[in-house]
Structure 1
Amino acid sequence: MEILLAAATGFEIQPTIDYLRNRTRDNRFVSVTPLITGVGPLATCYALTRGIDSAGPGLVIQAGIAGCLTGKKPGEVLAVSEEVLADVGVWEGQRFQSLFDMKLADPNAPPFSGGRLVNPHSGLLALTGLEPVRGMTVNEITTDPTRIEWHQQNTFAVVESMEGGSLHYVCLQAGVPFLQLRAVSNAVGVRDKTKWNIPLAIARLNEELIVLLEKLENGLPINGIKTI
C-alpha cells in the first residue's frame, strides 16, 4: 500500500524520513512517500491534492506539532479525529460567526457533518493507540485571550494547527483514508517560546509515527484495507 506522509515542514518529520531511508527493505513494507506541503491551509490543500492525484495513495498520514487549548503538556501525542475551521467567517464583537452560522453553507453538506470534518476511519484511529481529540484549523495563530476563551467554550478543540482541516477536507472529498497525528509543543496563547518544547514534541511525534508505520508494515488489517 502506498502511504503519503505529509507535514507542513520537513523538520517535523525528519526523524521518520531518516528512519525510512535507513530501514531494511523487504517485500512486506508499505511504500511511504514524504510530502512537505508548506505552512497554512491553502498550501496544504494544493500540495495534498497534487500528491493524491500523483501517487494514488491508499492512506494519507499528516504529522506535525500543535498548540493546545486544554492544558495538555508538551510532548503529548494525539490523534485528531475531527476538525473545525475556526476562522472561516467573521468576528462580531466577542463572538465568532461561521459560514454555517451565517447560513452561507450547509453544515451537513459533504464533507461536513454538523459543521465538522470528521474522520470516519475508526479502525485507523484505534490503531494509533492515541487519544482521539478535536482539532481546530486557523489561518492566523490564536494569541488573543478573549478569542482563546471563546474557542475553549464553543469549539471544544484540544489542539490548534494551520493544516489539519485541509487534510480532512481534501481526503474526505477524494475518498482517501487518512490520519492526523499532532504532538503538543506549547499552550495556545501569547507566543512565549521559553515555555515551548518543540524538540520534545518532535521527538515524541516521530516515535509514535514510526510505531504506527511498523504496525502497518506488519500488515494489520484496517477497515478492509490490506497493508501487505
Structure 2
Amino acid sequence: MSRLLGYGRVLIVTAVEIEQNTVLAGLGIDGQAPDALEAGAPVVVAACGVGPASAAAVTSQLLTVAVQRGAPFDVVLSAGIAGGFAGRVEIGGLVVGTESVAADLGADGPDGFQSVDELGFGASRHDADPALLRMLRQALPEAVGGPVLTVSTVTGTGRAKELVETRHPDAVAEAMEGFGVATAARLWPTTAFGEIRTISNAVGPRDRAAWRIPQALSTLRDAFATLGAH
C-alpha cells in the first residue's frame, strides 16, 4: 500500500491540467478515467482552475459528490507549482505546507494591511492535518516546511515582496489555491488537508525568463512518485 493510500481515499487538487497530468504521471496512473469520481477510484486528481474561489468551489463540489456516492475522501491535497521565497527554498525545490494562509484577505488602509483575523471577520489560516503533515515530512525529507501563502494576485514587484515578507516572515512559498482547497476540506471534519508545492520561480519582480516551470514539474512528478510508491 502506498503512503498516500494508507490514509484512505485521496483527492488531489491542482490548478491546471499540466499539473494534474504531472501528478498522475508521478503516481503511475496512465490517464484518469472520466468516471473516476463516480466509480470510487482510490485516488482522484482534479484541475480546479486558477485562484482560491475556483479552488474552493470545485473542491467542495467533488467532496460533496463523493459523500453522496458513499465513497467520501479521507485526504485532500492542494498541489502544484508556486513561487518560492529566496533564501528559504531553491528554484526547483519542494515545499510541504504547515498551514495555508490567505495572505491578501483583509483590508488595506493608512495604518497598513489588516487580515480578516485582526478585523474579527473570520480566519485567514488553515493548518495542515498534523498526522498527514508528519507523513509528508517523513516521506519527503528534502522538502522545506512552512506556511504557504494563497493570493489572488501574484506578487510581482520588489515593493510588494517586501510588504508580503514583512507580514509573513516565515512563509516559504506563494500560490493561488491552497486556502480555497483547505476551506472546502474543512467543511468535512473527517477529511485531512495538506499542501505540496514545487518552486518554479522566486517571489518578487516578475521575470518570466527566469521561471523554471519544467524543473518544478519534474520535482512535482518525483514527489508524487515517492508518495505513490508501495
Give the TM-score range, shorter chain.
Answer: 0.7 to 0.9
**Equivalent of 2:183 in 162, 169, 174:** 169
CA distance in 1, matches of 2:186, 2:200: 27
Q: Separation in 2 of the partners of 1:208 and 1:198?
A: 15
Going from structure 1 to structure 2, the CA distance change for 1:206 and 1:88 (only over 3 Å counts) comes to same
Identity %: 26
TM-score w.r.t. length of structure 1: 0.80
Answer yes or no: is the 8 Å Cα contact 2:57–2:184 preserved in 1: no
- 1:30-179 equivalences under 5 Å are 31-55=42-66, 56-71=72-87, 72-93=89-110, 95-105=112-122, 112=123, 115-122=124-131, 123-129=134-140, 130-156=143-169, 157-175=171-189, 176-179=191-194
Aligned amino acid, residue 125 of structure 1: L
Q: CA RMSD in A?
A: 2.1
1:203 aligns with 2:224: no
Name the CA shift for 1:100/1:178 in 2 (closer, same or farther; >3 Å): closer
What is the number of equivalent residue pairs in this alignment? Answer: 201
Distance 1:136 1:192 in 2: 20
Q: Deviations over 1:183-211 (max 9, x none)?
A: 01101122211111000000111101121
Give the distance between the partners of 2:139 and 2:198, measured in 1 at CA. Answer: 13
Q: Cα–Cα, structure 1 residues 144 and 189, in superposed 2: closer, same or farther, change >3 Å?
A: same
Label 1:209 to 1:93 Cα distance change in 2 as closer, same or farther (>3 A). Answer: farther
Secondary structure of 1:95 counterpart: coil
Gaps of at least 5 residues in structure 1 are 23-29, 106-111, 219-228
CA separation of 1:142 and 1:34: change in aligned 2, threshold 3 A = same
- Is the 8 Å Cα contact of residues 129 and 193 (structure 2) preserved in structure 1? no
Alpha carbons 2:23, 2:45 under 8 Å: kept: no
User: Which one-letter code corresponds to 2:167 in the other structure?
Assistant: N
Deviation digits for residues 138-161 of structure 1 (CA, Å, limit 9, x no counterpart): 111112322211221221211111
- The question of 1:4 aligning with 2:11 is answered yes
User: What's the TM-score once normalised by structure 2's chain length?
Assistant: 0.80
Cα offset, 1:69, TM superposition: 2.2
- Residue 20 (str. 1) matches residue 33 (str. 2): no
SS at match of 1:57: coil
Which stretches in structure 2 are left out of the alignment for 5+ residues?
A: 1-7, 32-40, 67-71
Deviation at 1:16, TM superposition (A): 3.2
CA displacement at 1:98 relative to structure 2 = 1.3
Q: Are the counterparts in 2 of residues 127 and 212 from structure 1 also a CA contact under 8 Å?
A: no
Mapped partners of 2:92, 2:162: distance in 1: 23
